Amino acid sequence: MNPKALPIYEIEAALVAQLRAQPRAIVTAPTGSGKSTQVPQMLLDHGLLGDGQAVILQPRRLATRLLAARVARERGGPLGGEVGYQIRFDDVSSRATRLRFVTEGLLLRQMLTNPRLDGLAALIFDEFHERHLYGDITLARALQIQQTVRPDLLILVMSATLEAAPLERYLAPCALLAAAGRMFPVHTAYLAEPVDFEREPVWAVAAREWERLVSDGAAGDTLIFMPGAYEISRTVQALRESPFARGWIVLPLHGELSPTDQDAAVAQYAQRKAIIATNVAETSLTIDGVQLVLDSGLARIPRFDPYRGINTLLVERISRAAADQRAGRAGRTAPGVCLRLWTEPEHRARPAQELPEIRRLDLAEAVLTLKASGVVDIAAFPWLENPDPKSVRRAETLLRDLGALDEHDGAITPLGRRMLAFPMHPRYARMLLAAQTFGCVRAACLAAALTQGRNLLVRRAGKDAQGDRDDFLGEESASDFFILMRAWSYADRNGYNLDKCRRLGIHAQAARQVQPLFEHFLRIAREQGLTPEERAAPDEAIQKCLLVGFADQLAVRLDGGTLRCRVVHGRRGEIARDSVARNRPLIVAAEVHEIEGRDRELNVLLSLVTAVEEAWLRELYPDDFSERVQVIYDHEDQRVVAETQRLFRDLPLATRRGGRPPADAAAALLAAEVLKGALKLPGWNAEVEQWLLRINFLAAFRPDLALPAIGDADRRRLVEQCCLGAFSQKDLRDQPVRPVIRSWLTPAQQALVEKYAPERLALPTGHRARVTYTLDGPPTVAAKIQDLYDIKGALTVAGGRVPVVLQILAPNSRPVQVTQDLAAFWRDHYPRVKQELQRKYPKHKWR
Ligand code: ADP
Ligand code: MG
């Protein structure tokens, strides 16, 4: 087909005109319209690049190379000439290169050494709708560069499906161009019944359905979407063995294939073909002639795994939007059919869209890259969509713990820059660098690979398998990694044989997936000048290396009897019961799983555990130790004690008792116990309470005297003062209280209290009646009738202003009346009371 006939040429003239007028544009057009292959050529052919280069950013390595190859072929030159590409481990470009296809992450790293983007005339962000983290960041950086030092830089954002509005606002002022594209109708079908891929493997289902559709007369070529290389190879095998595939060409397409095999998948053949691909064929690459799509509905999606604190690729169900893109692949050249290997109700339950990576990935690597390019405040960075501040904080804390950021100002350290050269999570970069020092690079690469995928060991392996496993792999060890490493070597030696693996409770499939990851880490290690050891490294070296990589998950056991422990950064945790290192006092965990705690403390379950030693911490982090003296109340001994804690960062490693605690701290702790009612301060008696009530009474009823009311805070301070000098319950017995309380007031104020709120009132009979002050309201006096006969008017305190409440008692001390109005008593009640009492107590004087 003549490329010039592609739908994208509808907007060629407009795009060129727009870019001459302003340096930003958005281009949207359906997949297959010619965006990736044609737009860069338009810029070049219309002279928009001057003598500079256009860099076309791609999210996937596979598409990067294939697109470059296609464009080079269209232009009739060799790859690496006018058209080139660059991916990790593979740079096929030269001085002559004008159109360079590059993976997103790689360009961001190149921006560190070329901050003005010298030599670049245009940056084209392809497949932007996928919203990869590095695409977002690179675009933000590019806009900054354009606004400051490179106003001439062209920025072009391209996408198959685009919710253009937010992006348009973000890029404003910017041109928006849309090409319609051509699409034939696609009939979408579902399975009638749900299938469990654990029971019937996804490749078997795909092969069965493909046979059915092809024998029913499905036309054209077939494209089958599978999540990864392994599922693809099984599907290829199943189809090649099928009698219905006679005369067909069946080929895999994924990033781990050799370039030749990748080229084979997109080449044209006389025969019908079936291509089994990952989601690279979703929108990045177009395979012409496809009329039948079978969609497993699965993809490997990078996502932050809170268990491991890293991003992992796990097989997940794709969103409805992604499924629609896949279906569209069947309608490029003719009407087509798409069969989804799930049911329609299941489809409705899927999420509409995948979250952008910024919302679902760990940001540690991105934050480190930004810091390296001089961005100080990550939150203030001009994001298209802001990351969750919690994710940013988590990333910064981890980077500090790893030594990549400065403890004080958060700037990148030389070590951080060194780590950045490793295209992997900073945790593993740090671990590999440490491994070089300790001589265990190979082991570290294996450990890194082992943490990426599923657990190798079957959890409940059954008694026999567990027994065999323990015999073979060991049941006690300094690290769970040692068991995993032995299990993996066993599986590897036995060619991942299912039966042999099952006998030891090893997931053969999970073990198989470790191999390419291990190779990947080894390759990067070598590329970075590290030297993998020839002979097995000593255990201690590996343990130390794991300590450095997981120092942010260091934990110390709280006691010997349980698995409870304290974890750095103020967390509490518990070591997994099935860890072989569960009895070690000091450990690092490669996996942490947050569990809901009842208290506000964060509880974590620690697994993949490695024993470490304090001496190693001292050797590796001599500056991170400190001592803290703490004064605490020991409930058992009922005394205040001083404790000296030895801290690593904020984690108390050990506590030693001794020394006399400071008196004021001790008094405060004892006072708290006294106020709770847990301890007694015997000197604090009823008289003391009355004294305080007397002060408060006058403060309320005689504000003119200006006595200070005693509130709760004063009360606490008073108790503290009374406890001063005491360190235990025993000491409290002899603490003087009354003089302390009295001295709260000046002698003059004390005299006012005695005068206006007297402890006793003299009655006409000479009897001195006790006045009882209360929390609120007037005080009370209890007196016998005979003592009250000669009282004229009311009985008062507060200098005559407040009549006391009288509790009038019979000769037997039983109250007969409570009143503030004595005159009313004599008048209204006394006659009847007297009649009654006089008979009972004739000897008393009655008036
Ligand atoms: P878009 O980026 O809009 O999805 P592309 O520029 O990738 O479109 O592709 C435009 C057309 O070019 C496709 O429909 C296909 O016909 C053809 N094409 C692209 N790459 C290749 C290739 N490697 N081999 C064969 N044809 C290709
Ligand atoms: Mg494209």
Question: What tens digit of pLDDT does each residue of 730-771 get?
Answer: 999 999 999 999 999 999 999 999 999 999 999 988 899 999
pLDDT at site 291: 96
436-471 pLDDT, tens digit per residue, is 999 999 999 999 999 887 788 877 667 777 777 777
pLDDT at site 162: 61
Rounded Cα distance, 454 and 476, in Å: 22
Say how many Å lie between the CA of residue 67 and the centre of ligand 1. 8
Q: What residues form DSSP beta bridges with 784?
A: 809
Count of Cβ atoms closer than 10 Å to residue 602 Cβ: 16
Q: Is 751 exposed, middle or buried (0-12, 13-18, 19+ CB in 10 A)?
A: exposed
Q: Using CA positions, which residue lies closest to atom 6 of ligand 1?
A: 34
According to DSSP, residue 662 is labeled P
Identify the nearest ligand to the CA of 286 by its number. Answer: 1
pLDDT at site 596: 63
Residues 6+ apart with CB under 8 A from 420: 109, 112, 368, 369, 372, 412, 426, 429
The residue whose CB lies within 8 Å of the most ligand 1 atoms, and thus the one to mutate among 2, 15, 70, is 70
Q: Using CA positions, which residue lies closest to atom 24 of ligand 1?
A: 266
Residues 6+ apart with CB under 8 A from 292: 210, 213, 214, 218, 219, 220, 221, 222, 223, 330, 336, 337, 338, 339
Is the bond leading into 764 cis (omega within 30 degrees of zero)?
no
Taking CA atoms, 342 is separated from 49, 215, 608, in Å, by 47, 21, 35
pLDDT at site 742: 94
pTM of the predicted structure, to 2 decimals = 0.75
Taking CA atoms, 139 is separated from 24, 34, 134, 284, in Å, by 11, 22, 8, 19
pLDDT at site 600: 61
Tell me the average pLDDT across 90-119.
Answer: 92
Q: How is residue 537 written in tokens?
A: 């490294």
Say how many Å lie between the CA of residue 297 and the centre of ligand 2. 21
Point out the ligand 1 atom lying closest to the alpha carbon of residue 158: 2
Rounded Cα distance, 161 and 308, in Å: 33
Angle at 516 between CA 308 and CA 594, to 5 degrees: 10
E strand map for 11-119: 24-28, 53-58, 83-87, 90-92, 99-103
Identify the nearest ligand to the CA of 34 by its number. Answer: 1
pLDDT at site 142: 95
Percent of the chain whose predicted confidence (pLDDT) is above 70: 98
Rounded Cα distance, 307 and 507, in Å: 20
Say how many Å lie between the CA of residue 228 and the centre of ligand 1. 23
Tell me the average pLDDT across 538-560.
Answer: 95
pLDDT at site 461: 65
Point out the ligand 1 atom lying closest to the alpha carbon of residue 37: 6
Q: Which residue in 217, 548, 245 sits closest to 398, CA to CA?
A: 548
pLDDT at site 598: 61
Count of Cβ atoms closer than 10 Å to residue 454 Cβ: 14
β 815-819/805-809 pair status: antiparallel
State which H helix or E strand residue 38 sits in: helix 35-45
116 pLDDT exceeds 80?
yes
Hunting for tokens 């605690």 — which residue is that? Answer: 661
The residue whose CB lies within 8 Å of the most ligand 1 atoms, and thus the one to mutate among 266, 286, 287, 329, is 286
At residue 602 the predicted structure's pLDDT band, cuts being 50, 70 and 90, is low
Burial 810-846 (b: 16+ CB within 10 A, else e): beeeeebbebbebeebbeeebeeeeeebeeeeeeeee
Q: Using CA positions, which residue lies closest to atom 22 of ligand 1?
A: 70
At residue 559 the predicted structure's pLDDT band, cuts being 50, 70 and 90, is confident
User: Which residues line ligand 1 at a C-beta cut-off of 6 Å?
Assistant: 6, 29, 31-38, 66, 70, 266, 286, 288
Assign 3-state DSSP to the chain and report helix, strand, coil percentages, each to 5. 40, 20, 35
Angle between helices 508-527 and 426-438 (to 10 degrees): 70
Q: Using CA positions, which residue lies closest to atom 18 of ligand 1?
A: 286
Evaluated on CA atoms 324, 330, 331, 333, the torsion sign reads positive
Percent of the chain whose predicted confidence (pLDDT) is above 90: 71
Average pLDDT of every residue of the chain: 91
- DSSP secondary structure string, 615-639? HHHHHH-GGGEEEEEEEEEETTTTE
Identify the nearest ligand to the CA of 59 by its number. Answer: 2
Rounded Cα distance, 3 and 802, in Å: 106
Say how many Å lie between the CA of residue 29 and the centre of ligand 1. 13
pLDDT at site 109: 85
pLDDT at site 344: 96
pLDDT at site 597: 58
Tell me the average pLDDT across 119-145.
Answer: 94
Q: How is residue 726 written in tokens?
A: 């005491």
